[in-house]
Structure 1
Amino acid sequence: MPGSLYDPKRRHLLQGLGACALLSPFASMPAWARRQRLYIDGLCFLPEDVNDVKASKLNAFIADISDIEAVKQADGTTNYKRTYNACIKSIAKANATVDAHPDVYQRGLTGLDIEKAVAQDKTAVFFQIQGADCVEGDSNANNWQQLEEFRQQGLRVLQLTHHYGNEFAGGALDNDGSLGLDKPLTEQGRELIAALNQKNMLIDVSHSSVQTALDTARLSNKPIVQSHGAVRSIVNHARCSPDEVIRAIADTGGVFGVFMMSFWLTNNPVPTVDDFVRQLEHVSRVGGVESVAIANDYPLRGHLKLLELENDNAQGVKQYLDWWHSLRAKNVLGFDVEPRHVVIPELNHIDRMSRIDDALRKARFKSSDRDRFMGGNLARVLQSVVV
């Protein structure tokens, strides 16, 4: 691809290594030999009711355990930053929650903890923070003390930014459509990528600008992920990723997770399971079957407000309109199209993974590809990076 920042040869190198280094026997084991297909969610949250974990049928999930501080932007909009002070408290709380339920949770400290979880009928949980704001200023001393502190507390996945940029990276919503801004990794961001690689922590480019995602794919010497997102060629929106980003992530050996936020999955007036399958199919076509993953980005039960409204999207979408209109005023890509829904009703449910699996079967995806999509690809990446 002209002007691309990634090397397509890297994918072939990673695939060559995969047989002996990137894939454990467990990740490549056929579903029938495991008694069930692996279900892994690329981004969710620790539930208030621990019974939801068993009900979800998940073998593992990446859990955003961060907390936020609301920070007013110069333009009047609000950015919810995952600051050090907020997140060091929230990760301690998350550890206490996991430790209080040893019969349910397996703490995810290495990718092989997925195997341990399955063997003991538990669910492996890998802690993630949605934004490197939590270590802003850490790079100035060049020793990454705060990053190491989070790693010691169990953090294994770090997202570079959330919506808006920081001292490391550009955010997806920094992009002013009238100016065409697309912020790259900063020098501090490049140092952060090297530090995360060195510490065997998985890099997540969800919410990043296109250029930041491409820069990260080029610089990282390990697979990266977009844990939760959607396809821009289907919905032309700043929060959705163009094909070049999907390819770049795939060429690192990483995965692209499609999430449940329906206004970024389809512009159709009524969202359906077929719209979700179409997203997965597109990622598979662009990045290959090894690049597809599934994420939630709502609580395990689903979007709680929409559940209260019995999945009445016309009512539920109203809570997003003020925020949506504030970004429309800034000419951010895609906010000129009014959202009409929030969830796919059939998937706004605790049993969404089984329902997605069944939808893929009905769409005639091969069983081996369903193994990959539903969890095998994420297991491979976690086992190759988080060691």
Structure 2
Amino acid sequence: MLIDALQCGEFDRSVFETLSRGGYTCVTPTLGFWEGTLESMDALARWRDMERENADLIRIIRRADDIRACEADGKVGILLGYQNTNLLEDRIRFIELFADMGTRVMQLTYNNQNELGGSCYEDNDSGLSRFGREVVQEMARVGVVVDCSHTGDLTTLHAIEHSPKPIAVTHANASSIFPHKRNRSDAVLKALAETGGVIGCAAYRNITPADACATVRGFAEMVARTVEIAGVDHVGIGTDYSYKNDDNFREWMRKGRWTRTVQYGAGSVRTPGAVAKPDWLPGPENLKDLVPALRGVGFSAEETDKIMGGNWLRLYETVFG
């Protein structure tokens, strides 16, 4: 089983064919960053069209058993998710409606403070707001995974505290391994583990150590160090791999409609634009090379299976059945 908890960019049949060749069981694409309700519904509708048009390759995942069906028949499972909660437009009842339409993952905040809580890029992390507490409880009730990959550490800790179900950090790394605002503290990773959550180790250069980008062995060693912090039952993969993202796509990701100023996202003045894929991961089909690398750094076959997909499947079963 191979589950990647976060990818983004423009998906089409050629991408689905590549994922199929790569042996993926399930992938979470990003349906939106800054979009409101209507635009977010448009994205869901487009994915339903793509499922019909590519029914021989993909299946939209609504329950954990759908992932097992993909493992059995070789289709790629598509777990629909958003990297923000703008789609709710402050309406608590919309969470259930989006869940009914197939949404299974929502990130509480993207790169900015919002009505729910603090982003990792704010100077001061406000923690979870009153509305935010209501949202994480409602997401748990209706079966949507709470994602805190771009939230501040305090907001993430509050989400862990207030959610009745385990939450996720789908695509980030440990800040003690690679210091960056986008990465999560050891305190977060330990709290995540204590409540059954999972962190997906990312392969995005701006938040990943150089040696973990240079070789698959280096990435496996980073995973092993993350396991030392969170435990082998609480670490998975969330590459943040992106397809066909041109300058316009990056500008939307970073700026949305909220600013006229230059925004670098996880980049910087030194790395302002697109960054190269990891040397060992030039295409998504190379992710399967991580299996022997994990074995090579000392993980057993059972532990490797957990990291490559089993831990995500357990979390999904717990959250949405």
Distance 2:74 2:157 in 1: 38
How far does the alpha carbon of each residue in 1:78-97 deviate from its partner, in whole angstroms, 9 at most, with x for none?
xxx13222211111111111
- Matches for 1:219-368 after TM superposition, within 5 Å: 219-266=162-209, 271-299=214-242, 338-339=270-271, 342-368=276-302
> Could you tell me how far 1:335 is from its partner in structure 2?
7.2
Aligned residues: 304
Q: Which residue of 2 aligns with 1:39?
A: 2
CA contact (8 A) 1:53 1:104 kept: no
Moved more, 160-169 or 116-125: 116-125
Q: Which residue of 2 aligns with 1:167?
A: 115
CA contact (8 A) 2:213 2:280 kept: no
How far does the alpha carbon of each residue in 1:144-178 deviate from its partner, in whole angstroms, 9 at most, with x for none?
1x22221121101111111112101211111x2xx
How far does the alpha carbon of each residue in 1:109-142 deviate from its partner, in whole angstroms, 9 at most, with x for none?
1111111112222122110011011112213xxx
Q: Which residue of 2 aligns with 1:316?
A: none
> Could you tell me how far 1:98 is from its partner in structure 2?
1.3
Distance 1:347 1:368 in 2: 23
- Relative to structure 1, is the Cα distance of residues 268 and 92 closer, same or farther in structure 2, using a 3 angstrom cutoff? same
Distance 2:95 2:313 in 1: 24
- Relative to structure 1, is the Cα distance of residues 267 and 354 closer, same or farther in structure 2, using a 3 angstrom cutoff? closer
Distance 2:193 2:26 in 1: 21
2:77 paired with 1:124: yes
Q: Which residue of 2 aligns with 1:15?
A: none
Distance 1:256 1:97 in 2: 29
- Relative to structure 1, is the Cα distance of residues 281 and 338 closer, same or farther in structure 2, using a 3 angstrom cutoff? farther
CA contact (8 A) 2:206 2:267 kept: no
The residue type paired with residue 288 of structure 2 is S
Percentage of matched positions with identical amino acids: 24
CA contact (8 A) 1:263 1:342 kept: no
Q: Which residue of 2 aligns with 1:147?
A: 95
| Unpaired stretches in structure 2, ≥5 consecutive residues | 247-253
**Who wins on radius of gyration, i.e. which is larger?**
1
Q: Which residue of 2 aligns with 1:214?
A: 157
1:83 to 30, 36, 44: 36
Distance 1:378 1:156 in 2: 13
CA contact (8 A) 2:20 2:74 kept: no
1:184 to 118, 123, 127: 127
SS at match of 2:5: strand
2:90 paired with 1:137: yes
How far does the alpha carbon of each residue in 1:157-213 deviate from its partner, in whole angstroms, 9 at most, with x for none?
111111112101211111x2xxxx122011000000111111021111110000110
> Could you tell me how far 1:338 is from its partner in structure 2?
4.1
- Relative to structure 1, is the Cα distance of residues 281 and 269 closer, same or farther in structure 2, using a 3 angstrom cutoff? closer
Distance 1:231 1:338 in 2: 22
> Could you tell me how far 1:373 is from its partner in structure 2?
0.5
Q: Which residue of 2 aligns with 1:53?
A: 19
The residue type paired with residue 101 of structure 2 is Q
SS at match of 1:65: coil
The residue type paired with residue 165 of structure 1 is Q
The residue type paired with residue 40 of structure 1 is I
Distance 2:228 2:269 in 1: 26
- Relative to structure 1, is the Cα distance of residues 232 and 105 closer, same or farther in structure 2, using a 3 angstrom cutoff? same
Distance 2:31 2:114 in 1: 20
Distance 1:104 1:280 in 2: 30
SS at match of 1:196: helix
Q: TM-score, normalised by structure 1?
A: 0.73
Distance 2:169 2:280 in 1: 24
SS at match of 2:171: strand
| Unpaired stretches in structure 1, ≥5 consecutive residues | 1-37, 69-80, 306-319
> Could you tell me how far 1:354 is from its partner in structure 2?
1.3
> Could you tell me how far 1:270 is from its partner in structure 2?
7.2
What is the alpha-carbon root mean square deviation over aligned residues?
Answer: 2.6
> Could you tell me how far 1:282 is from its partner in structure 2?
2.0
The residue type paired with residue 95 of structure 1 is R
> Could you tell me how far 1:275 is from its partner in structure 2?
3.6
